[in-house]
Amino acid sequence: MTSKSESKPGDCRRQGLTLSALVLGLMVSHGAMAAGDGTAAVGGGLGGALGNVVGQQMGGSTGAAIGAGVGGAAGSAVGAPKGSRTAAAVGGGLGSAGGSVIGNSLGGSTGSTIGAGLGGAAGGAVGNNLGTDDGGSHSKGNHKHKNKNKYKNKHR
């Protein structure tokens, strides 16, 4: 009798790596949500996962990485507040694309989608957080109008 499902020598190691990568990704995404960056994280995760699936259908693993990057950037930018949209978009796009590539090497197309979602969530949250701490190049309400009445019309 021969068994139909024979396991290869590296299968257990690959499953262990995939499981540990998923656990680590969940911990990072929960940390991002606890930091108050929830909308950019959710937007980056959903956009990255959806872009990954569409990209896989159009262009294989390369298309999946590109789709995840574009989707993660768009989702993070939509979810971020006005002052940090650019940083959140960069973080979500890079996180989604990187997560897609790493997930593809660990777990094929399903791992690629999961990695894109987790990477987009983490990247969007980190980018959003960094974008709000930019050092304050804007005046944030401290601008004073000193010469407000300088050219006032005078009645003669």
With tokens 């507040």, the residue in question is: 81
Q: How many residues does the chain have?
A: 156
Query: Which is nearest to 96 in space by CA: 59, 60, 132, 71?
Result: 71
Report the pLDDT value the prediction gives residue 84, as an integer from 0 to 100. Answer: 86
Residue 5 DSSP label: S
Report the pLDDT value the prediction gives residue 102, as an integer from 0 to 100. Answer: 92
Residue 8 DSSP label: P
| Element (DSSP H or E) covering residue 79 | helix 38-79
Domain of residue 99, residue span: 36-129
Rounded average pLDDT over 41-69: 89
CA distances from 11 to 8, 16, 17, 18, 58 (A): 6, 9, 10, 11, 29
In a domain, 6, yes or no: no
Report the pLDDT value the prediction gives residue 109, as an integer from 0 to 100. Answer: 87
Q: 150 vs 107, which has greater pLDDT?
A: 107
pTM: 0.63
Q: How far is residue 101's CA from residue 89's CA, in Å, rounded to a whole number?
A: 18
State pLDDT tens for residues 131-150. Answer: 776 455 555 556 666 666 66
In a domain, 13, yes or no: no
pLDDT mean across residues, the chain: 76
Q: 147 vs 103, which has greater pLDDT?
A: 103
Does residue 97 have a pLDDT over 90? yes
Query: Residues with Cβ < 8 Å from 78, sequence gap 6 or more?
Result: 43, 47
Residue 145 DSSP label: -
Q: Look at the chain and report how many structural domains it folds into.
A: 1
Q: How far is residue 123's CA from residue 84's CA, in Å, rounded to a whole number?
A: 13
Q: 148 vs 22, which has greater pLDDT?
A: 148
**What confidence tier does 101 reach under pLDDT thresholds 50, 70, 90?**
very high
